């Protein structure tokens, strides 16, 4: 029986993960934290196995008070860090503090914490570099996007990822980094979801890259396996569905308009200004032309994670994957 | 593609007939659930490629295949061929030839130069037909999945060789042998005779952009030279060496020299056997 601290507990993935932990008989207690006040958070009953706290992790003092207060008192052994700023347009010092400095504080404090023995970071496939010279099928040793010209959304995620990786083998606790495919769903921060869920998708004329997308259910399964597993490392967490972007828009029922590359940025910028759309073209330019598919071999072999939940596409429903039907759990 | 697989299927059914459809239905590939493999290959587009290639294969270049029984029926393999002709018609004809001369049909996976995936429309059609960007990671993933790689070790310098250097193999890269040794795949040497005269190149203009140069050929369209594709016996590098030997530059260099010599021998045999450039 373990106690688990979950940050970012009010995100779509976080809420579902907390729900699964509360139902998990291997878990003694769940300490869920997010910025939202308690009355707006976690709308489900949980008996006495869940504690929710409103904490601003961007403030290091709050992190200290959390880890050496309630987390120590509850004997938290595993920290699952899901808290990241979700907007593709988020910029500035406060966003960086939420995306990177919060994790840095957790790592620093966890190193001298009496009970924490494992930290799981939900990282993102967007951290990977996408380029013509690199493979489409991405393993964990694929280069990360270290370009100083990359948007802050990407730079922060890469920095957080590397900050956690730099602790591996050097800390008193185990570190697991899960580089996850985008989970399609409202509130997940998925750029592909924002792309698909718009009234019209502008796509690059003449290009149709492969994408891999996941469900929230599979992300929760991956987090569960990382929480209860042993050992440390970096793992790609792919989703069940791998398909061309055009097929995804068709199955989502989104009309798409092909535009020459030079028109895409102005079109998306205009749409953002007019409708507040969260899709940021600058984050996705290469992915819309070249594509990226996560190779989940390592997660399957070490964590036992296999994506099993296909997306229930608005048009056509979920698909069965013959290649995965016989895979072991 | 701008159009879905059902339209590709309708076109192939209308223009290609039953044999093309049947070939596509029996094609070996790993479906990821939506009908595509991880790199974007789709059998309906492979069938469309078969139909598009048919006029060139059957009527224009009148391809004759020799020794296709040397293509592995299953498992990984590396097809290593000479490259020429200003336009990569040799790659297209070899792709069709492998598809038509394997049972069950195998779709060879050409490794294209880095600039190819940057070309609009071309990149997408190619990807649907099995072409992948020429990165080491892509090649490794395909071999581990038991696929048949098509590699032109001469690369762009081969396709752009001057007419005076026809059938003289250019600088022969070694990566295919390293891949074969490390990922346990036989190398099948291939000599393509006919392509080297199809579009004599008289000059080239270097450019900065997605393509390395603009060729100036003597003819506006490829000449209807007759293609002879000669498959040599597989070179079992994977049986002769251990995977760790792929790190030994000397072993890899010697292996590449063997493959190059085998391709050159096939070319010389093909040239001596043919009755003329157009026959």
Chain B residues whose beta carbon lies within 8 Å of the beta carbon of residue A321:
31-33
Higher pLDDT, A47 or B79: B79
Residues of A with CB under 8 A from a CB of B: 132-139, 142, 204-210, 240-244, 246-247, 250, 258, 289-291, 293, 295, 310, 319-324
With CB atoms and an 8 Å threshold, state whether A247 touches B4.
Answer: yes
Per-domain residue ranges of chain A: 2-183+216-238+292-303
Instruction: Name the least confident of A56-65, A86-95, B177-186, B223-232.
Output: A86-95
With CB atoms and an 8 Å threshold, state whether B38 touches A242.
Answer: yes
With CB atoms and an 8 Å threshold, state whether B4 touches A295.
Answer: no
Distance between CA atoms of residues B62 and A49, nearest Å:
75
Joined together, the tokens standing for residue A295 give 């190779």
Radius of gyration of chain A (CA): 19
Is B7 in the A-facing interface, judged by CB distances under 8 Å? Answer: no
Confidence of residue B1 (pLDDT cuts 50, 70, 90): low
With CB atoms and an 8 Å threshold, state whether B36 touches A208.
Answer: no
Q: Which long-range contacts (CB under 8 A, 24 or more apart) does A279-287 make?
A: A279/A88, A279/A191, A279/A194, A279/A195, A279/A198, A280/A88, A280/A89, A280/A151, A280/A153, A280/A191, A282/A151, A283/A88, A283/A126, A283/A151, A283/A153, A283/A154, A283/A191, A284/A191, A284/A195, A286/A130, A286/A131, A287/A130, A287/A209, A287/A211
Distance between CA atoms of residues B119 and A292, nearest Å:
17
Chain A residues whose beta carbon lies within 8 Å of the beta carbon of residue B144:
none
- H or E, element range at B156: helix B155-159
Q: Give the per-residue pLDDT at B2.
A: 64
Q: Give the per-residue pLDDT at B264.
A: 97
Instruction: Report percent pLDDT > 90 for chain B.
Output: 74
Joined together, the tokens standing for residue B5 give 């697989």
Residue-wise pLDDT for B97-129, tens only, equals 999 999 999 999 999 988 888 899 999 999 999
Confidence of residue A282 (pLDDT cuts 50, 70, 90): confident
Residue-wise pLDDT for A180-207, tens only, equals 999 998 888 889 999 998 888 999 999 9
Give me the helices (H) in B26-119, please. 43-54, 89-100
**Tell me: domain B5-273, CATH 2.60.40, correct?**
no
Is B4 in the A-facing interface, judged by CB distances under 8 Å? Answer: yes
Q: Give the per-residue pLDDT at A303.
A: 96
Chain B residues whose beta carbon lies within 8 Å of the beta carbon of residue A135:
133, 135-138, 140-141
Q: How many helices (H) and strands (E) does chain A have?
A: 12, 14
Q: Of the candidates A135, A243, A289, which has its C-beta nearest B34's C-beta?
A: A243
Q: Give the per-residue pLDDT at A239.
A: 96
Contact A244, A188 (CB under 8 A): no
Higher pLDDT, B94 or A269: B94
Chain A residues whose beta carbon lies within 8 Å of the beta carbon of residue B114:
132-133
Query: Mind telling me how many Å the CA of A263 is from chain B's nearest CA?
Result: 15
Is B144 in the A-facing interface, judged by CB distances under 8 Å? Answer: no
Residue-wise pLDDT for B18-39, tens only, equals 888 888 899 989 999 999 999 9
Torsion of CA B252, B257, B262, B265, to 10 degrees: 180
| DSSP string for B106-152 | B--EEEE-TTGGGSTTHHHHHHHTT-EE--HHHHHHHHHTT-EEEE-
Is B115 in the A-facing interface, judged by CB distances under 8 Å? Answer: yes
Query: Mind telling me how many Å the CA of B104 is from chain A's nearest CA?
Result: 19
| DSSP string for A9-40 | TTSHHHHHHHHHHHT-TTEEEEEEEESS-GGG
Alpha carbon B275 to its chain centroid, in Å, reads 25
Residue-wise pLDDT for B50-74, tens only, equals 999 999 999 999 999 999 999 999 9
Alpha carbon A12 to its chain centroid, in Å, reads 10
Distance between CA atoms of residues A88 and A278, nearest Å:
6
Confidence of residue B152 (pLDDT cuts 50, 70, 90): very high
Per-domain residue ranges of chain B: 5-273
Joined together, the tokens standing for residue A224 give 């569960």
CATH number of A2-183+216-238+292-303: 3.40.50.720
Closest Cα in chain B to A205: B120
CB-based burial label for A239 (10 Å; 0-12, 13-18, 19+): buried
Distance between CA atoms of residues A31 and A43, nearest Å:
15
Joined together, the tokens standing for residue B156 give 């762009």
Instruction: Name the least confident of A234-243, B80-89, B226-235.
Output: B80-89
Token pair 């910025």 in the structure block, residue:
A35
Closest Cα in chain B to A324: B32
Joined together, the tokens standing for residue A315 give 């048009």
Contact B86, B213 (CB under 8 A): no
Give chain A's largest Cα–Cα span: 58
Question: Does pLDDT of A40 surpass 80?
Answer: no
């Amino acid at each position: 029986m373990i106690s688990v601290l979950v940050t970012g507990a009010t995100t779509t993935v976080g809420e579902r993960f907390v729900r699964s932990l509360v139902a998990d008989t291997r878990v003694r207690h769940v300490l869920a934290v997010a910025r939202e006040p308690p009355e707006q958070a976690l709308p489900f009953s949980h008996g006495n196995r869940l504690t929710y706290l409103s904490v601003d992790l961007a403030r290091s003092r709050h992190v200290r008070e959390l880890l050496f207060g309630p987390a120590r008192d509850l004997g938290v052994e595993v920290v699952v860090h899901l808290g990241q700023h979700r907007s593709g347009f988020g910029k500035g010092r406060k966003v960086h503090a939420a995306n990177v400095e919060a994790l840095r504080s957790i790592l620093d404090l966890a190193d001298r914490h009496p009970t924490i023995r494992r930290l799981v970071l939900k990282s993102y496939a967007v951290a990977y570099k996408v380029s013509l010279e690199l493979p489409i099928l991405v393993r964990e040793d694929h280069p990360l996007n270290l370009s100083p010209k990359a948007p802050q959304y990407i730079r922060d995620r890469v920095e957080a990822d590397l900050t956690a990786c730099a602790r591996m083998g050097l800390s008193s606790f185990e570190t697991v980094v899960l580089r996850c495919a985008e989970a399609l769903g409202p509130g997940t921060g998925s750029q592909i979801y924002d792309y698909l869920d718009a009234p019209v998708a502008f796509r690059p004329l003449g290009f149709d890259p492969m994408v891999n997308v996941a469900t929230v259910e599979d992300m929760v399964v991956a987090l569960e396996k990382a929480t209860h597993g042993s050992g440390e490392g970096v793992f790609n967490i792919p989703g069940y569905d791998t398909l061309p972007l055009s097929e995804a828009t068709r199955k989502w029922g989104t009309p798409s308009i092909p535009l020459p590359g030079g028109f895409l940025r102005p079109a998306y910028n205009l749409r953002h200004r007019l409708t507040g759309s969260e899709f940021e073209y600058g984050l996705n330019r290469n992915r819309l032309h070249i594509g990226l598919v996560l190779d989940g071999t390592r997660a399957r072999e070490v964590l036992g994670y296999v994506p099993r939940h296909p997306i229930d596409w608005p048009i056509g429903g979920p698909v069965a994957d013959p290649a995965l039907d016989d895979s072991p759990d | 593609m701008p159009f879905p697989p059902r339209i590709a299927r309708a076109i192939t059914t209308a223009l290609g007939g039953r044999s093309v459809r049947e070939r596509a239905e029996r094609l070996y590939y790993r479906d990821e659930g939506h009908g595509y493999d991880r790199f974007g290959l789709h059998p309906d587009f492979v069938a469309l490629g078969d139909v598009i290639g048919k006029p060139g294969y059957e009527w224009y270049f009148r391809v004759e295949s020799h020794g296709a029984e040397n293509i592995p029926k299953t498992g990984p393999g590396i097809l290593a061929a000479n490259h020429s002709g200003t336009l990569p018609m040799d790659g297209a004809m070899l792709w069709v030839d492998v598809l038509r001369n394997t049972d069950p049909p195998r779709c060879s996976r050409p490794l294209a130069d880095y600039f190819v995936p940057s070309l609009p429309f071309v990149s997408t059609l190619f990807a649907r037909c099995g072409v992948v960007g020429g990165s080491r990671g892509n090649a490794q993933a395909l071999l581990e999945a038991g696929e048949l790689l098509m590699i032109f070790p001469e690369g762009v310098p081969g396709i752009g060789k001057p007419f005076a250097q026809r059938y003289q193999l250019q600088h022969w890269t070694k990566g295919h042998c390293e891949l074969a040794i490390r990922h346990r795949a036989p190398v099948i040497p291939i000599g393509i005779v006919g392509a080297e005269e199809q579009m004599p190149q008289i000059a080239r203009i270097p450019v900065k952009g997605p393509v390395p140069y603009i060729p100036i050929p003597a003819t506006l369209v490829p000449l209807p030279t007759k293609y002879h594709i000669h498959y040599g016996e597989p070179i079992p590098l994977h049986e002769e060496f251990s995977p760790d030997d792929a790190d030994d530059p000397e072993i890899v260099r010697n292996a590449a020299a063997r493959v190059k010599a085998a391709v050159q021998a096939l070319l010389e045999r093909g040239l001596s056997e043919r009755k003329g450039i157009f026959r």
